[in-house]
Amino acid sequence: MLDIVLILLSTLILSSLFLLYFSKYKSGGAPLPPGPRGWPILGNLPQLGTKPHHTLHALSKVYGPLFRLRFGSVDVVVAASASVASQFLRANDANFCDRPPNSGAEYVAYNYQDLVFAPYGSRWRELRKLCQVHLFSAKALDDLRWVREGEVGLLVRALGAAANSAVPVHLGQAVNVCATNALARATMGRRVFEETGGGEEAGEFKEMVVELMRLAGEFNVGDFVPWLRWLDPQGVVAKMKRLHRKYDEFLDKIIAEHRRVEGKSGKTSGGRDLLSTLIGLKGEADVDVDGEEGKLTDTNIKALLLNLFTAGTDTSSSTVEWALAELIRQPDVLRRAQHELDSVVGRGRLVSESDLPNLPLLQAIVKETFRLHPSTPLSLPRMASEACEVAGYAVPKGATLLVNIWAITHDPESWRQPLEFRPERFLPGGEREGVDLRGNDFELIPFGAGRRICAGMSLGIRMVQFMTATLVHAFEWGLPEGQVAEKLDMEEAYGLTLQRAVPLMVHPSPRLVAAAYEN
């Protein structure tokens, strides 16, 4: 008798869940997007593999450019074509401005107090405005051009000094130090690392950034199965907490040093750099949050600096590393780029940012690198504020949206020979002439699109173009003994940013007149 009662209760519960499920999703009459069956409890999480952007790309070939997954108790929709991405990020952008809850934002990014993961609203707009005015506007970029040119000049001299060494240069780390110091000088008026070529401290910071991007890109089971959260089955949260402590010490040191220098020099806190402005605003009623005045705190400042020193540096340096790797593999393209640079710049000086508009092939190389190796292969997740209909399918309220940028940039419907490195596709007369990187052409959106497009996009594009142009112009590039260009390892390491699985180790050789390296 007891068995019969248990069976009836189980049937009743399953029936209720079944009715709840369909009442939740069938409103409006549109069907749910198609998708694969998942595992009990975990859903499709175990199927993602070590390279989720590749897995989701393969699934889009089976289920179409808009499909549905289940990660634990969370509904996930994946956009895998330019047309579907545009329907989410252009036509329905206002409905997908918020981020879903996640461990990275809670345990690393100061519990959503940053810019990247902050809820869409007044505080987010105020933080973005501050960054835009002081770092990313056209005026700010032009005013701080001398900073970037100075740091790239130091990078060139450091590489030149390593030219006669038998020890190869870790290019990604050297470029990351350059990008970090350039951003640090713009943000707070001083370098973070004095050893431009690297050093133990710079190497540790690079590892911290890579670890953050790897952890932030990991699909943590506890985010999707709430009752498993306390177990931390993958150990992700424990790693995040340890990493957060490192970053917190690093950022506390930066802020304390900045205050000390300002106090010694007698400067007011209203200085030109962003950090001085933020410190000056600390404690003041600066924004209106849900009808109440909010105050900028040290936590807000550290969270914003965390965004800048991670997303603002590693994406640029990894893209430059990919670009140089592709050019080493294709020496004919490298020679053409060097010929263009020699024609515009000559061999008597280094590249200036003012030269960049006159370098169409170099710009095409950068676009093709962003296409073939998008710095963020899967977009940062967004969440549906309300139920809506996209491409004829129902998207439920609270669903997480993932845009597979990697799949879009490798879609043969949009790109001829999508697996080949072909910069000429962007040149005048090429099949994709006129496509830009700024979120208007959904076939190529490495910085995202819509309201939550990357705030530092303009700086990122300029830095990648400038560093790539300088490295191509100033040096010839050799590989360590035993390596050949045709077999250079191009394997990807998945994370929030697309790293090389094997760092690019190179031997630079100066190709300009000696005086060019001395200025």
Binding residues for heme: 454
State phi, psi for 253 to the nearest 5 degrees: -65, -45
Q: How far apart are CA 277 and CA 140, in angstroms?
A: 14
Contact of 305 with 299, CB cutoff 8 Å: no
Contact of 494 with 405, CB cutoff 8 Å: no
Q: How far apart are CA 473 and CA 160, in angstroms?
A: 13
3-class SS of residue 101: coil
Q: How far apart are CA 425 and CA 404, in angstroms?
A: 22
Q: How far apart are CA 372 and CA 356, in angstroms?
A: 21
3-class SS of residue 314: helix
| Binding residue positions | 454
Cβ neighbours, 10 Å, residue 292:
9
Closest to 374 in 3D by CA, of 415, 344, 339:
415
Q: How far apart are CA 398 and CA 413, in angstroms?
A: 31
DSSP lists the bridge partners of residue 475 as 510
- Cα angle: 324, vertex 325, 331; to 5 degrees: 80
3-class SS of residue 150: helix
DSSP lists the bridge partners of residue 113 as none
Burial class (CB in 10 A: 0-12, 13-18, 19+), 339: exposed
- Cα angle: 128, vertex 132, 138; to 5 degrees: 160
Q: How far apart are CA 479 and CA 328, in angstroms?
A: 9
Closest to 37 in 3D by CA, of 10, 13, 62:
62
Q: What does DSSP assign to residue 378?
A: B
DSSP 437-492: SSSSSTT--TT--STTS-TTHHHHHHHHHHHHHHHHHHEEEEPPTT--GGG----E
Contact of 69 with 404, CB cutoff 8 Å: no
Q: How far apart are CA 315 and CA 374, in angstroms?
A: 9
Residue 274 corresponds to which amino acid? L
